[in-house]
Structure 1
Amino acid sequence: MSTPETMASAAAPLRRIAAAITPADLDRPTPCAEFDVAALVSHLLYWAPGLAAAGRKQAPPEPETRPLPHDFADTLRARVDDIVAAWSEPQAWRGSAEFAGAVLPAPLLGGMVVGELVVHGWDLGRALGIDVGWDDALLDFLFEQVSATAEQGREMGAYGPAVPVADSAPTLDRILAATGRLPHWHPVTV
C-alpha cells in the first residue's frame, strides 16, 4: 500500500462513524479512558487543522478551543476529508513536517496521523456499537508504525500502558493493545 493511498483507507470508517453520531451519543464512554464521545470528537476537531497543515508543509494554524459546534458531525467529516486531501499528496510523506511545535520526519508523522484516524475511529465505533474494519495492508502498515513509536507515545502521554495480547492476535487487536486499549472493550450497559 503506498502511503498517499493509506490515508483515505484509514479515514473511511471514521467518516462513516462521524455521520452516525447524534447529540444523544455525546456522553457515551469510549475505550479511550479520558474521553467520552463529545471529548473525543473535540480532540479530533482540535488537532485536525494542524495535521492537515503538516501534510501540506504549511505553518500550523492556532488550534481552536471552543465548545463542540452544533454541526459537529459535518465538521468532523470535513476535517477528516481535509487531512486525507493533505496527506494523499506524495510530497506530504517526504522530508519533514511540523506538528505541535516539533519538526518530525514526514513518514513518521504520516504514520501517526494514520494511527489517529484508525485508533480513534475504532474508539468511536466501539462507543456507538458500530463495527469498523480496515484492510490487512493498512493494518500491517499501522502495526509497523505503532510498534516503532509505542514507547515514545507512552512517554508523551498519547498511549496508555501496553495491554498484553497474544502474538497470534489479529493485527488490529495488537495495534490497540500497543496503544493501551483493551481490544475487546464494550461500553457497560445497565
Structure 2
Amino acid sequence: MPAAARDLTDVVRDIGRRDLDRPTPCTDYTVRGLLNHLLYWGPSLLTAVRKEDPPPRAASEETAALVTGDWQRRLCDLVADLADALSDKKAWQGTTTMGGGELPGSMIGGMVLVEFVVHGWDLATALGSQRPWSPEAAVGAEDVLRGMAEQGRQMNVFGPAVAVPASAPALDRALALSGRDPAWQPLG
C-alpha cells in the first residue's frame, strides 16, 4: 500500500491546471473528473477503513465540484491517510460499512489498492507519462482484480476485460482485468 500511495501522489503532484480537461483511459472521466472521483469517494473509503461512521458528502459525485482550492494537497493527504490507516492489520479484519452495506474490511482495503494503482495509471497515462510503477503494487492490484473484476463488470464499474498475453507485466494484466487497454495513448 505505501508504494501504491507514493506512486499515486507522485502523479497527482505532476498535474497542472492545463491538464484538467485531458481525456483519460477511464472513458467516463477527464483528468478533472477522475480527480473529483478520488476526492469524492476517498473520505468514504477512509471512514470504512477506520470503521467509523461515513462522512457527509454532496448528493452525487456528478454534482460535487471538489477540484478547487488546494485540491492537490487535499488529495495527497487523503491518499497518505488511507495508506496509513491500512497499515493497521485491524483495518483488513472483520467487517465495515460503506454505502449502506456491510463489507469485509479486506474488500475495502483491496478497493483502495485498485483505486490507487488503476486510477494512478489513468492519470499518468492521460499526462503522457510512462513512469515506472511499483511491482508490488501492480501484483497486489492484479490479485485483487482477479477476485473482484467480474463483480465490478456486473456493477458497471469495470469494462470488458482486455486481452493481454499471460507474459505481460503485472500492471498490464491488472489494467486489462479492469477493462483498460494498457496500450492506451492520449490523443495528439
Taking structure 2 as the reference length, the TM-score comes to 0.92
Tell me the equivalent position of 2:27: 33
1:56 counterpart residue number: 50
Residue 149 of structure 2: aligned partner: 150
Q: Which sections of structure 2, spanning at least 5 residues, go unmatched?
A: 59-63
- Distance of aligned partners of 1:107 and 1:163 in 2 relative to their CA distance in 1, 3 Å threshold: same
TM-score calculated relative to the size of structure 1: 0.91
8 Å CA contact 2:25, 2:180 repeated in 1: yes
Partner of residue 117, structure 2: 118
1:107 aligns with 2:101: no
Displacement of 1:175: 0.5
- Contact kept, 8 Å, 1:30 with 1:127, in 2: the verdict is yes
Distance 2:167 2:101 in 1: 35
Q: 1:169: how far off? A: 1.2
C-alpha root-mean-square deviation of aligned residues, in Å? 1.3
Q: How many residues align?
A: 183
Secondary structure in 1 matching 2:97: strand
Partners in 2 of 1:93 and 1:134 — Cα distance?
Answer: 24
2:131 and 2:118 map into 1 onto residues whose CA distance is 11
Structure 2 equivalent of residue 96 of structure 1: 95
Q: Deviations over 1:119-153 (max 9, x none)?
A: 00000000112233333333222211101111101
SS across alignment from 1:9: helix
State the Cα distance separating 1:11 from its structure 2 match: 0.9
- Paired residue type of 2:18: A
- Structure 1 gap ranges (5+): 1-6
Q: Where does residue 3 of structure 1 map in the other structure?
A: none
Distance in 1 of aligned mates of 2:14 and 2:138: 24
**Separation (CA, whole Å) in 1 of partners of 2:50 and 2:37:** 21
